[in-house]
């Protein structure tokens, strides 16, 4: 009898690592998590991660086979299977994590960054099923993206494609975390939204967050509404340009800030449409991600294996 | 004995149609051209084009087989095989030219726009041989582009991808031929360069052209040099953003204005590099197209067939 196949999906975050066992339909059989920060030494981390995978899969060994491990990680490079210079992780330089895990657990391992994993997750399990051309935009602490064209994720020549957050939107604008000025991420991200709210309200209070701004906007607070309008305007204008490049069927908005729903999506739709070249008008949908927020990351990581085999 | 295979490559321009018979190595066996403008009725044009193909191929019929016809045309849509609302052609609306020609000559016909044909030509016969990720930018009357990722041209959901000329570069900037303001094409194109020269020199003389500006620049004329610098700056800044999306190995610059060579390419290189996110610095080449200027269009059109079969 052929054993049913499962994949381990792993999401590495700066504070937490989540992992799950996932079948080809996106059903999660088991999941767990542990602290990333507890392992400042990457060899120790690989040992812990491998043990966690083995323990998780142990209960399913009899009837299932583990066909691979997909990892989503900050600054993950698909071509190299490596985490490269991730600012929010303790492991510095280039970490060939896919190889390290593969050698330890003797399974096929693929690794990419969080946003590309989300794009593949959207294609395999989410709202982009059957789509050949779409864009996944992840808005949270930063702004990431994954571009799919002709049914394939665009990795680029060195695996560095999809950095939509670092497209210039205002010459000599806000300082970005990358050291340059005026990047999209400096406006459309957690920090960007907070800064916009502070600028509009002339206050520097540190107790604002995208969630509190959304609460205020839902109570018709003008500054909060204006913050969403400005944020959506900058993203919508940028997407109108990006449509000229890959002409997607849809653009999925994913991540913490996207939970604000139409508060954010409606301004994006309005300003994208307003700025689109006439040949694209009415043709590109802005859609919230269909991936469940709390399990999207491990689903996306698992989708890497289901997509690439 | 198997007959050697040839393809007919056809370049449809507003004034002239060029056609040639081309083998898989890009060798041109025969070529000819006729006036597009002489045929305001598209049925008459199809008849003329078909006759020209048959006459051209007649001399090779004994030893060669014609395996297909590739057409590059303004506003050509690959998915539909149609010329759609081309402003510079007499045939209005949507012209299903690939089907019309195919029915008349009983051969396989593929059609796309000029810039996408140039990109495929670059990949099959030119400087992008063996490259999986590159961009072709065609700068002439307008600014067109073809994006190749994962070894495939990006057509987009409706065949409308690659309109780099209509990315916004200056909010509320110059009026573009598309009716919007601040598009790249309004600055980087024949008209755009002339306007920049006129603005910098405070004169409206109509006897300037990119070629005369290049002549002046080669004689160290400051305004002409400044014109190339400004033109290259706007294109270089834009390409620095575009690299974030598809991360190409190289960007090829093609077309009439690209003949100015390093006068244009050096400013593009300088400003692109200056504006690149640090992860891309030193990694993306700006290269003049390796397609011969006078036969590039028919080579590109023929490459459509050699690429897609």
Structural domain spans, chain A: 4-118+295-308, 131-288
CB contact A244 to B (< 8 Å) = yes
User: What's residue B234's pLDDT?
Assistant: 98
Find chain A residues with C-beta within 8 A of B162's C-beta.
Answer: 244-245, 247
pLDDT at B168: 98
> Please, what is the average pLDDT of chain B?
95
Residue A127 predicted with pLDDT over 90: yes
Q: What is the CATH number of domain A131-288?
A: 3.30.420.40
Q: Whole-angstrom Cα distance, residue B262 to residue A263? A: 48
Any CB–CB contact under 8 A between B158 and chain A?
yes
B181 CB-side CA count, 13 A = 6
- Measure B306 CA to nearest chain A CA, in Å: 19
Q: Identify the burial level of B223 via C-beta atoms within 10 angstroms of its C-beta, where 0-12 means exposed, 13-18 middle and 19 or more buried.
A: middle
What pLDDT does B129 receive? 96
pLDDT score, position B169? 98
CB pairs under 8 A between A and B: 133
Q: What is the pLDDT of residue A207?
A: 86
Q: At residue A205, does pLDDT exceed 80?
A: no
Which pLDDT score is estimated for B308? 79
Q: Could you give the ipTM of this predicted complex?
A: 0.94
Contact B252, B137 (CB under 8 A): yes
Residues B124, B71: contact at Cβ < 8 Å? no
pLDDT of residue A309 exceeding 70, the answer is no
Q: Which two tokens stand for residue A184?
A: 């999209």
Q: Is 90 exceeded by the pLDDT of residue B183?
A: yes
Do B180 and A152 lie within an 8 Å CB cutoff? Answer: no
> A201 by DSSP, 3-state: which?
helix
pLDDT (0 to 100) of residue B1 = 61
Q: Do B168 and A275 touch (CB under 8 A)?
A: yes
Q: Which CATH number does B4-118+295-308 carry?
A: 3.30.420.40
pTM of the model: 0.95
Among the partner residues A154, A279, A283, nearest to B150 by beta-carbon distance: A154
CA-closest candidate to residue A125, choices A17, A247, A23: A23
Give the mutation candidate from B272, B277, B280 for the A interface (greatest A CB count, under 10 A).
B277
Convert the pLDDT of each residue in B7-54 to its tens digit: 999 999 989 999 999 999 999 999 999 999 999 999 999 999 999 999
Nearest CA in chain A to B279: A160
Residue of B nearest to A165 (CA): B244
Q: Which residue of B has its CA nearest to A150?
A: B154
Residue in A153, A161, A164, A184 to test binding to B, most B beta-carbons within 10 Å: A161
Domain B4-118+295-308 identical in fold to domain B130-288: yes
- Among B166, B177, B233, B251, pick the best mutation site for testing chain A contact (most A Cβ within 10 A): B166
Q: Is it the case that residue B104 has pLDDT exceeding 90?
A: yes
Mean pLDDT of the B278-307 span: 94
Through-space distance between the first and last CA atoms of chain A, rounded to whole angstroms: 21
Q: Which chain B residue has the Cα nearest residue A163?
A: B244
Contacts of B240 in chain A (CB under 8 A): 168
Q: Does A177 touch chain B (CB under 8 A)?
A: no
Q: What is the CATH number of domain B130-288?
A: 3.30.420.40
**Mutation site for B-interface testing, chosen from A145, A167, A187 by largest number of B Cβ within 10 Å:** A167
């Amino acid at each position: 009898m052929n054993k049913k196949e499962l994949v381990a999906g792993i999401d590495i975050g700066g504070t937490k690592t989540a992992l799950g066992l996932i079948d080809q339909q996106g059903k999660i059989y088991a999941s767990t998590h542990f602290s990333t920060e507890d392992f400042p030494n990457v060899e120790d981390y690989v040992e812990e991660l491998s043990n966690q995978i083995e323990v998780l899969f142990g209960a399913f060994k009899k009837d299932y086979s583990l066909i691979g491990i997909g990892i989503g990680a900050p600054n993950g490079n698909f071509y190299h299977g490596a985490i490269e210079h991730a600012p929010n992780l303790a492991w510095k330089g280039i970490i060939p994590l896919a190889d390290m895990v593969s050698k330890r657990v003797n399974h096929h391992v693929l690794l990419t960054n969080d946003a590309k994993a989300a794009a593949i997750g959207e294609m395999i399990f989410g709202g982009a099923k059957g789509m050949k051309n779409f864009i996944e935009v992840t808005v949270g602490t930063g702004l990431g993206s994954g571009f799919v064209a002709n049914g394939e994720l665009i990795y680029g020549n060195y695996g560095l494609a999809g950095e939509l957050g670092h497209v210039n939107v205002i010459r000599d604008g806000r300082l970005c975390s990358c050291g340059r000025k005026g990047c999209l991420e400096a406006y459309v991200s957690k920090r960007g939204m907070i800064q916009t709210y502070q600028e509009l309200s002339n206050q520097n209070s540190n107790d604002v967050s995208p969630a509190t701004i959304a609460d205020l906007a839902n109570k018709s607070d003008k500054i909060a509404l204006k913050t969403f309008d400005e944020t959506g305007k900058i993203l919508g204008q940028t997407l109108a340009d990006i449509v000229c490049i890959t002409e997607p069927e849809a653009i999925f908005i994913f991540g913490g800030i996207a939970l604000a729903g139409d508060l954010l999506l409606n301004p994006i739709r309005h300003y994208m449409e307003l700025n689109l070249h006439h040949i694209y008008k009415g043709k590109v949908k802005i859609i919230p991600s269909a991936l469940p927020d709390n399990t999207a990351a491990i689903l996306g990581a698992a989708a890497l294996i289901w997509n690439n085999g």
